[in-house]
Structure 1
Amino acid sequence: MNGKIMTFFEDKGFGFITDENGENRYFHVIKVQNPEMIKKNAAVTFEPTNNAKGPSAFAVKVLASSKYITIANERIKISSIKSFNTFTKAVPMKAEVDKENTVLSVGLLMNRIRPQSVDIPQTTQTLRMLAVTTFQNATHTFSEHEIDMDETIKVLKNL
C-alpha cells in the first residue's frame, strides 16, 4: 500500500502515515527499512496491519524523492531551479469561426476577391502565468490553461 508520512516524533521513534484511503496508520522506526530517509511528507510503501490501538504499518519503505519535477510535460531538474515567480499577462481572446454561417466563394478561395478589412477591437483576457528560471538561465513559462497554478506553486514551495 502507498502513503505519506504525516508526522514523525524522532525522539520517540514513531509517527503516523496517511494511507491512500485517507486513514492514519501508526508506524515505529524499527519497522522502517531505510530510517535515515524518514521525513514529513515523504512518500512510503508499507504493509497494512492492525495492532491493539488501531491501524498500523510494517515493512515501511521510504521512497526516494525524484530529482526532477514535471510541469506541463516539461521535465526540470529540481536542483537546477534558481527561482520561480507568478505574473499576469493580457492575451488576445481567440475568436471562434462561425462554421454554420460561413460562406466561402470560389473567388475568395482563389484570392481574387479580397475581404474588406474592418478594424475590430480585439478583446483580451488576463491569464495567470508561472515562470521557472534555472541556473542555466533557461526560463520555462506556463499559463493557467496548461497547469493547476495553485497546486504547482505549492509543490515548488515545498522543494
Structure 2
Amino acid sequence: MNGRITTFFEDKGFGFITDENGENRYFHVIKVQNPELIKKNASVTFEPTNNAKGPSAYAVKVQAPSKYITIANERIKISSIKSFNTFTQEVPVKANVDKENTVLSVGLLMNRIRPQTVETPKMMETLRMLSIITFQKGTYTFSEYEIDIDETIKTLKML
C-alpha cells in the first residue's frame, strides 16, 4: 500500500502515515527499512496491519526523493531550479471552426476561388502562466491549459 508520512517524532521513534484511502496509520522506526530517509511528506510503501490501538504499518519503505520533476512532459532537475513565478498574458482566442454549418465549394477547395476577407478585431483572453528559471539561464513557461498552476506551485514550494 502507498502513503505519505504526516508526522514523525524523531525523539520517540514513531510517527503516522496517511494511506491512499486517507486513513492514519501508526508506524515505528524499527519497522522502517531505510530510516535515514524518514521526513515529513515523504512517500512510502508499506504493509497495512492493525494493532491493539488501531491501524498501523510495517515493512515501511521510504521512497528516495527524485532528483527531477516532470511538468507537462518537461523533465527539470530540481537542483537547477533558480526561481519560479506566475504572471498573466493576453493571447488571441482560438477560433473554432463550425464544422456542421460550414459550406465549402469545390473551387474554394481547389484554391481557385479566394474567399473575401473581412477584418475582424481579434478576441483576446487572459491566461495564467508559470515560468521556471534555471541556474543555466533556461526558462520553462507553462500555461494554465497545460498544467494545474496552483498544484504545481504547491509542489515546487515543497522541494
1:108 partner SS = helix
| Aligned-residue offset at 1:106 | 3.2
1:45 maps to which residue? 45
2:29 maps to which residue? 29
Aligned-partner residue type, residue 13 of structure 2: G
1:72 maps to which residue? 72
Which stretches of structure 1, 4 residues or longer, exceed 4 Å deviation after superposition? Answer: none
Q: Please list the CA deviations of residues 19-67 of structure 1 after superposition, one character each: whole Å capped at 9, or x if unmatched.
A: 1111101111111111111100001111111111111111111110111
Aligned-partner residue type, residue 124 of structure 1: M
Structure 2, unaligned stretches of length 5 or more?
Answer: none
Aligned-partner residue type, residue 16 of structure 1: F
Structure 1, unaligned stretches of length 5 or more?
Answer: none
2:155 maps to which residue? 155
Percent sequence identity over aligned pairs: 82
| Aligned-residue offset at 1:99 | 2.0
Instruction: Kindly tell me the number of residue pairs found equivalent between the two proteins.
Output: 159
Over the aligned positions, Cα root-mean-square deviation in angstroms equals 1.2
CA distance in 1, matches of 2:51, 2:100: 67
CA distance in 2, matches of 1:47, 1:76: 32
Superposition TM-score, scaled by structure 2 size: 0.94
1:17 maps to which residue? 17
Superposition TM-score, scaled by structure 1 size: 0.94
Alignment of 1:1-159 (within 5 A): 1-159=1-159
Aligned-partner residue type, residue 106 of structure 1: V
